[in-house]
Amino acid sequence: MQETAVIEVKGVHKSFKTVHAVKGISLRIPKGQFVALLGPNGAGKTTLVEMIEGIQKPDEGEILILGKHWKSNEEELHRILGISLQETRYIDKLTVAETLQLFASFFNLYRDRVDSIIDLIGLEEKRKSYVVNLSGGQRQRLAIGIALLNNPKILLLDEPTTGLDPNARREIWVILMKLKEQSETTMILTTHYMEEAEQLCDYIIIIDQGEILKEGNMEQLLNSDQEKKIVEFTIESNSFSREITETGSPFQIQWDPARKKGIVEIHHIDKELPALFEYLGQRNLQLKNLEFRKRTLDDLFTSLTGRHLHE
């Protein structure tokens, strides 16, 4: 029997003036799951999340949250949802504590909840600082704090770490991992950082151009071609030849001209590796370095679309 879905999206479409942003996406997200919507900028992630948040209406299809439609259930759904929108800027001249207190009042919550959130997001020292004086990472932590005020059953975070430095990003991951341990909250997070999806989420949905390309947990996504290995190699910079990516070669080599790096997927090390050496040698390409590494979500995305997640 299938687990009851907390969020159910059925055949949803959404178009804007010139863009068909979401093209028939369906999802079922069970309780307590942390889900990543992974895709490059403009993939349709924000549009999809905003439809789930009730901010946008789908042109077609339906969205059910705990079995309820947005229409005529707004008040109730607002109470169980915690959201953080992309690029929200809070009131400059209110302090951290005052901002939280304001949002707490919308949920009829009192000061003790504000205090425990400030503790959770690690802004104790900044509780009396104006929002305008916070760093990017602190603002984002405040935004997540606001999203968590009402102990939401469903947390929707739209690119919570975009534009943050690695440390600030990690601080946000820590908050979310703590939440995962301590509560039964279901979370959808949009991101174009594969590490974020890998670190935080049980289930990853790869989206591009308004469609789901692939979904599953990390193992399902990466081990579906378990025998495939990734070989990355560099060659002496002046010996690069176009031949390396010529059609008809026995290897499908992706060439990254910026990093002067070639990537090739091979199935059988013992047979294919000597063949690769021979192939390069025949073309007088001098190998400088070569390494095997695990397949990543970016490799998967590239193999599906021919582009990188960050392009």
Partner 1 sequence: MNRINRENQLFQLILARIKETIREPGVIFWGMIFPMLMSLGLGIAFMNKTDIFRRVGVIIHNQDTISTGDSTHVLQSFLQHQTEKINNPKDRFPAYKFTIRDEKLGNSIFLFQEMRWDEAMVLLKRGNMSIVLNEQKGQIGYHFDPLNPDAQLSYLKLSGVFGKKGNPVAENRTNIQPLTVRGTRYIDFLIPGLIAMGVMMSTMWGISYDIIEKRSKKLLRRMVATPMKKYNFLFALMTVRLVMNFLEAALLFIFSAIVFGISIQGNIGALFLIFMAGSIAFTGIATFISSHTSKTEIGNGFINAVVMPMMVLSGVFFSYHNFPDWTIPFIQPLPATILADGLRSIFIEGAGFAEITVPSLILITTGVVFFTAGLKIFKWH
Kindly report the length of the chain. Answer: 311
Task: Give the interface size with partner 1 as a residue count (CB under 8 A).
Answer: 30
DSSP 183-246: ---EEEEEES-HHHHHHH-SEEEEEETTEEEEEE-HHHHHGGGTT-EEEEEEE-GGG--GGGG-
Q: How far is the CB of 21 from partner 1 (least distance, A)?
A: 15
Q: How far is C-alpha 122 from the chain's CA centre?
A: 23
- Alpha helix (H) residue ranges in the chain: 45-52, 74-80, 96-106, 111-120, 136-148, 166-182, 194-200, 218-222, 269-282, 297-305
Strands 5-15 and 60-65, by their bridges, are: antiparallel
Q: How far is the CB of 6 from partner 1 (least distance, A)?
A: 18
- Closer residue to partner 1, CB minimum distance, 101 or 296: 101
Amino acid at residue number 159: E
Choices 9-17, 98-106, 165-173, 256-264; region in contact with partner 1 by CB under 8 A: 98-106
Q: Restricting to residues 75-94, which ones interact with partner 1 according to CB under 8 A?
A: 75, 78-79, 81, 83, 85-91, 93-94
Q: CA quadruple 126, 129, 130, 134: dihedral positive or negative?
A: negative
Q: CA quadruple 164, 166, 167, 172: dihedral positive or negative?
A: positive
User: What tokens does 102 get?
Assistant: 């304001």
Q: Restricting to residues 125-184, which ones interact with partner 1 according to CB under 8 A?
A: 130, 146, 150
Element holding 264 (H helix, E strand): strand 261-266
Tell me if 69 contacts partner 1 by CB under 8 A: no
Q: Restricting to residues 105-124, which ones interact with partner 1 according to CB under 8 A?
A: 105-108
Tell me if 54 contacts partner 1 by CB under 8 A: yes
- Closer residue to partner 1, CB minimum distance, 98 or 298: 98
- Closer residue to partner 1, CB minimum distance, 103 or 301: 103
Q: How far is the CB of 68 from partner 1 (least distance, A)?
A: 15
- Closer residue to partner 1, CB minimum distance, 87 or 270: 87
- Closer residue to partner 1, CB minimum distance, 111 or 288: 111
Q: How far is the CB of 78 from partner 1 (least distance, A)?
A: 5
- Closer residue to partner 1, CB minimum distance, 189 or 264: 189
Angstrom distance (rounded) from CA 231 to CA 226: 14
- Closer residue to partner 1, CB minimum distance, 93 or 294: 93
Tell me if 103 contacts partner 1 by CB under 8 A: yes
Q: What's the burial of 17, exposed, middle or buried (CB within 10 Å: 0-12/13-18/19+)? A: exposed
Q: How far is the CB of 75 from partner 1 (least distance, A)?
A: 6
Q: How far is the CB of 58 from partner 1 (least distance, A)?
A: 15
Q: How far is the CB of 153 from partner 1 (least distance, A)?
A: 14
Angstrom distance (rounded) from CA 68 to CA 155: 16
Choose which of 15, 59, 64, 102 interacts with partner 1 (CB under 8 A): 102
Tell me if 292 contacts partner 1 by CB under 8 A: no
Helix (H, G, I), strand (E, B) or coil at 119: helix
Residue 107 half-sphere exposure, CB side, CA atoms within 13 Å?
Answer: 23
- Closer residue to partner 1, CB minimum distance, 146 or 197: 146
Give the binding site for partner 1 (CB under 8 A). Answer: 53-56, 75, 78-79, 81, 83, 85-91, 93-94, 98, 101-108, 130, 146, 150
